[in-house]
Copies of this chain bind each other. A is one copy, B any other.
Amino acid sequence: MNRKDGRGPLEMRPLVITPNYNAFAEGSALVELGQTRVLATVSITDGVPRHVHPRRSGWLMCEYSLLPRATPTRTQRERFKLGGRTQEVQRFLGRAFRAALDLKALAGKTVIVDADVLQADGGTRVASILGGYAALFLALDRMVRDGTLDDWPLLEFGAVSLGWFGEDRVLLDLTAIEDENAWADLTVVATRDGELIEIHGGGEGRPVPRAVYERMVAAGLEVIPSLVAAVHRAVSKPLS
Protein backbone atom coordinates (compact mmCIF):
# COMPACT_ATOMS: atom_id res chain seq x y z
CA MET A 1 0.00 0.00 0.00
CA ASN A 2 1.66 3.19 -1.22
CA ARG A 3 1.53 6.40 0.80
CA LYS A 4 1.39 9.75 -0.98
CA ASP A 5 4.49 10.96 0.79
CA GLY A 6 6.42 7.79 -0.02
CA ARG A 7 6.72 6.59 3.57
CA GLY A 8 6.82 2.93 4.51
CA PRO A 9 3.67 1.67 6.29
CA LEU A 10 5.27 1.80 9.73
CA GLU A 11 7.36 4.91 9.18
CA MET A 12 6.80 8.15 11.08
CA ARG A 13 6.73 11.58 9.41
CA PRO A 14 9.65 13.90 10.22
CA LEU A 15 9.40 15.09 13.83
CA VAL A 16 10.87 18.50 14.71
CA ILE A 17 10.68 19.84 18.26
CA THR A 18 11.57 23.44 19.17
CA PRO A 19 11.95 23.69 22.96
CA ASN A 20 11.16 26.91 24.85
CA TYR A 21 9.22 28.39 21.94
CA ASN A 22 7.21 30.56 24.35
CA ALA A 23 8.89 33.24 26.47
CA PHE A 24 6.53 33.20 29.42
CA ALA A 25 5.45 29.61 30.12
CA GLU A 26 7.15 27.47 32.77
CA GLY A 27 7.84 25.05 29.91
CA SER A 28 6.99 25.01 26.22
CA ALA A 29 7.69 23.32 22.91
CA LEU A 30 6.58 23.64 19.31
CA VAL A 31 6.14 20.22 17.74
CA GLU A 32 6.05 19.67 13.99
CA LEU A 33 5.00 16.21 12.86
CA GLY A 34 4.96 16.45 9.09
CA GLN A 35 2.57 19.32 8.37
CA THR A 36 0.94 19.07 11.81
CA ARG A 37 2.11 21.82 14.14
CA VAL A 38 1.21 22.02 17.85
CA LEU A 39 2.34 24.60 20.38
CA ALA A 40 2.41 23.09 23.88
CA THR A 41 2.84 25.23 26.97
CA VAL A 42 2.94 24.21 30.60
CA SER A 43 1.75 26.54 33.37
CA ILE A 44 2.32 25.67 37.03
CA THR A 45 0.44 27.61 39.67
CA ASP A 46 -0.24 27.31 43.36
CA GLY A 47 -3.56 25.88 44.49
CA VAL A 48 -5.55 22.79 43.55
CA PRO A 49 -9.21 22.14 42.69
CA ARG A 50 -11.55 21.32 45.55
CA HIS A 51 -11.59 17.58 44.98
CA VAL A 52 -7.82 17.37 45.65
CA HIS A 53 -6.20 17.49 49.09
CA PRO A 54 -3.57 20.27 48.80
CA ARG A 55 -1.06 18.68 51.14
CA ARG A 56 -1.31 15.22 49.65
CA SER A 57 -1.43 15.83 45.95
CA GLY A 58 -1.20 18.23 43.05
CA TRP A 59 -3.41 18.29 39.98
CA LEU A 60 -2.95 18.39 36.22
CA MET A 61 -5.41 19.37 33.53
CA CYS A 62 -5.12 19.79 29.81
CA GLU A 63 -6.72 22.13 27.31
CA TYR A 64 -6.69 21.49 23.58
CA SER A 65 -7.78 23.84 20.85
CA LEU A 66 -7.57 24.22 17.08
CA LEU A 67 -6.78 27.62 15.60
CA PRO A 68 -9.49 28.37 13.02
CA ARG A 69 -7.20 28.00 10.03
CA ALA A 70 -5.43 24.93 11.34
CA THR A 71 -7.67 23.07 8.90
CA PRO A 72 -7.91 23.15 5.08
CA THR A 73 -11.22 25.01 5.31
CA ARG A 74 -11.74 27.37 8.22
CA THR A 75 -13.16 25.83 11.41
CA GLN A 76 -15.35 28.01 13.62
CA ARG A 77 -13.86 28.99 16.98
CA GLU A 78 -15.41 27.43 20.08
CA ARG A 79 -16.33 30.65 21.84
CA PHE A 80 -19.73 29.92 23.28
CA LYS A 81 -19.92 26.15 23.51
CA LEU A 82 -17.21 23.54 23.71
CA GLY A 83 -17.48 20.83 21.07
CA GLY A 84 -17.56 17.17 21.96
CA ARG A 85 -14.39 16.34 20.05
CA THR A 86 -12.42 19.02 21.87
CA GLN A 87 -13.64 17.82 25.25
CA GLU A 88 -12.91 14.23 24.39
CA VAL A 89 -9.37 14.99 23.23
CA GLN A 90 -8.48 17.12 26.22
CA ARG A 91 -9.84 14.53 28.65
CA PHE A 92 -7.76 11.89 26.85
CA LEU A 93 -4.65 14.06 27.11
CA GLY A 94 -5.28 14.99 30.73
CA ARG A 95 -5.66 11.37 31.81
CA ALA A 96 -2.48 10.40 30.00
CA PHE A 97 -0.39 13.12 31.65
CA ARG A 98 -1.88 12.39 35.08
CA ALA A 99 -1.04 8.71 34.72
CA ALA A 100 2.57 9.53 33.83
CA LEU A 101 3.16 12.18 36.49
CA ASP A 102 3.49 11.50 40.20
CA LEU A 103 1.03 14.12 41.44
CA LYS A 104 2.07 13.63 45.06
CA ALA A 105 5.43 15.19 44.19
CA LEU A 106 3.63 18.41 43.22
CA ALA A 107 1.38 18.64 46.29
CA GLY A 108 -0.68 21.85 46.32
CA LYS A 109 0.15 22.80 42.75
CA THR A 110 -1.87 22.74 39.53
CA VAL A 111 -0.22 22.01 36.20
CA ILE A 112 -2.04 23.14 33.05
CA VAL A 113 -0.89 21.69 29.74
CA ASP A 114 -2.16 23.77 26.82
CA ALA A 115 -1.99 22.19 23.38
CA ASP A 116 -2.85 24.71 20.65
CA VAL A 117 -2.94 23.29 17.17
CA LEU A 118 -1.55 25.79 14.67
CA GLN A 119 -1.87 23.37 11.76
CA ALA A 120 -3.66 20.02 11.64
CA ASP A 121 -2.72 17.28 9.23
CA GLY A 122 -3.58 14.27 11.36
CA GLY A 123 -1.94 13.13 14.58
CA THR A 124 -2.76 16.25 16.62
CA ARG A 125 -3.24 14.29 19.82
CA VAL A 126 0.05 12.48 19.29
CA ALA A 127 1.83 15.80 18.70
CA SER A 128 0.09 17.17 21.80
CA ILE A 129 1.40 14.29 23.90
CA LEU A 130 4.94 14.66 22.56
CA GLY A 131 4.93 18.47 22.87
CA GLY A 132 3.28 18.40 26.27
CA TYR A 133 5.83 15.84 27.47
CA ALA A 134 8.68 18.09 26.28
CA ALA A 135 7.14 21.19 27.86
CA LEU A 136 6.41 19.39 31.10
CA PHE A 137 9.92 17.97 31.16
CA LEU A 138 11.38 21.48 30.81
CA ALA A 139 9.10 22.91 33.49
CA LEU A 140 9.94 20.14 35.96
CA ASP A 141 13.62 20.38 35.18
CA ARG A 142 13.48 24.07 36.05
CA MET A 143 11.85 23.16 39.36
CA VAL A 144 14.60 20.65 40.10
CA ARG A 145 17.22 23.30 39.36
CA ASP A 146 15.30 25.79 41.56
CA GLY A 147 15.28 23.24 44.35
CA THR A 148 11.47 23.20 44.52
CA LEU A 149 11.30 19.58 43.42
CA ASP A 150 13.34 16.75 44.89
CA ASP A 151 12.60 13.55 43.02
CA TRP A 152 11.94 13.32 39.32
CA PRO A 153 8.17 12.65 39.06
CA LEU A 154 7.63 11.97 35.35
CA LEU A 155 7.64 8.66 33.49
CA GLU A 156 9.32 8.57 30.08
CA PHE A 157 6.46 8.13 27.64
CA GLY A 158 5.15 8.90 24.19
CA ALA A 159 2.24 8.28 21.85
CA VAL A 160 1.45 7.22 18.33
CA SER A 161 -1.59 6.70 16.10
CA LEU A 162 -2.30 3.87 13.68
CA GLY A 163 -4.94 3.03 11.12
CA TRP A 164 -6.38 -0.11 9.56
CA PHE A 165 -7.26 -0.16 5.88
CA GLY A 166 -8.74 -3.64 5.50
CA GLU A 167 -7.11 -7.08 5.44
CA ASP A 168 -3.62 -6.78 6.86
CA ARG A 169 -2.99 -3.17 5.84
CA VAL A 170 -1.88 -1.20 8.90
CA LEU A 171 -0.30 2.27 8.66
CA LEU A 172 1.51 4.24 11.34
CA ASP A 173 1.17 7.99 11.94
CA LEU A 174 -1.75 8.85 9.66
CA THR A 175 -2.09 12.14 7.79
CA ALA A 176 -5.53 13.75 7.72
CA ILE A 177 -6.40 12.26 4.36
CA GLU A 178 -5.26 8.79 5.45
CA ASP A 179 -7.26 9.13 8.66
CA GLU A 180 -10.43 9.86 6.71
CA ASN A 181 -10.02 6.69 4.68
CA ALA A 182 -9.11 4.36 7.54
CA TRP A 183 -11.51 1.55 8.46
CA ALA A 184 -10.44 1.84 12.08
CA ASP A 185 -7.94 3.82 14.07
CA LEU A 186 -6.07 3.50 17.32
CA THR A 187 -4.09 5.83 19.54
CA VAL A 188 -1.60 4.31 21.93
CA VAL A 189 0.07 6.16 24.79
CA ALA A 190 2.76 4.11 26.49
CA THR A 191 5.96 4.28 28.47
CA ARG A 192 9.34 3.80 26.86
CA ASP A 193 9.44 0.26 28.21
CA GLY A 194 6.06 -0.71 26.81
CA GLU A 195 3.55 -0.26 29.62
CA LEU A 196 0.19 1.11 28.55
CA ILE A 197 -0.93 4.52 29.75
CA GLU A 198 -3.96 5.03 27.55
CA ILE A 199 -5.40 3.27 24.58
CA HIS A 200 -8.32 4.35 22.49
CA GLY A 201 -9.54 2.85 19.25
CA GLY A 202 -12.49 1.86 17.25
CA GLY A 203 -13.87 0.90 13.90
CA GLU A 204 -15.28 3.51 11.59
CA GLY A 205 -18.27 1.69 10.28
CA ARG A 206 -16.96 -1.86 10.75
CA PRO A 207 -15.40 -3.99 13.51
CA VAL A 208 -11.72 -4.90 13.67
CA PRO A 209 -10.56 -8.53 13.76
CA ARG A 210 -8.72 -9.28 16.95
CA ALA A 211 -5.48 -10.27 15.22
CA VAL A 212 -5.37 -6.95 13.38
CA TYR A 213 -6.00 -5.11 16.60
CA GLU A 214 -3.12 -6.90 18.27
CA ARG A 215 -0.81 -6.06 15.37
CA MET A 216 -1.72 -2.40 15.71
CA VAL A 217 -0.96 -2.36 19.42
CA ALA A 218 2.36 -4.12 18.85
CA ALA A 219 3.41 -1.77 16.05
CA GLY A 220 2.55 1.24 18.19
CA LEU A 221 4.52 -0.01 21.17
CA GLU A 222 7.50 -0.70 18.96
CA VAL A 223 7.89 2.86 17.70
CA ILE A 224 7.26 4.76 20.93
CA PRO A 225 10.80 4.41 22.39
CA SER A 226 12.29 6.21 19.37
CA LEU A 227 9.82 9.07 19.81
CA VAL A 228 10.68 9.44 23.49
CA ALA A 229 14.34 9.53 22.50
CA ALA A 230 13.65 12.25 19.92
CA VAL A 231 12.02 14.43 22.56
CA HIS A 232 14.95 13.93 24.89
CA ARG A 233 17.39 14.94 22.18
CA ALA A 234 15.33 18.09 21.52
CA VAL A 235 15.37 19.16 25.16
CA SER A 236 19.01 18.04 25.50
CA LYS A 237 18.38 15.65 28.35
CA PRO A 238 19.58 12.05 28.40
CA LEU A 239 17.11 9.22 28.86
CA SER A 240 17.13 7.61 32.28
Chain A positions near chain B (C-beta within 8 angstroms): 22-25, 28, 35, 39, 41, 43, 45, 63, 65, 67-74, 77-82, 84-85, 87-88, 90-91, 95-96, 98-100, 103, 112, 114, 116, 118-119, 121, 155, 157, 189-191, 194-210, 213-214, 221
Beyond A65-B77, A87-B87, A189-B202, list 18 extra A-B contacts (CB 8 Å).
Answer: A23-B119, A24-B69, A24-B71, A63-B68, A67-B116, A69-B114, A79-B82, A80-B80, A88-B91, A99-B204, A99-B205, A99-B206, A100-B207, A195-B210, A197-B207, A199-B199, A199-B200, A200-B200
A195 to B183, CA, bound (A): 13
- Determine if A43 and B28 form an interchain contact, defined as CB atoms under 8 angstroms apart: no
Ranked 8 nearest A-B pairs via Cβ: A195-B207, A198-B202, A41-B69, A84-B87, A43-B74, A99-B203, A87-B87, A25-B69
Q: Are the CB atoms of B63 and A77 closer together than 8 Å? A: yes
Q: For A104, give the chain B residue with the smallest CB separation.
A: B205
Given that A43-B74, A155-B207, A190-B207 are known contacts, is A196 also in contact with B221, CB under 8 Å in the complex? no
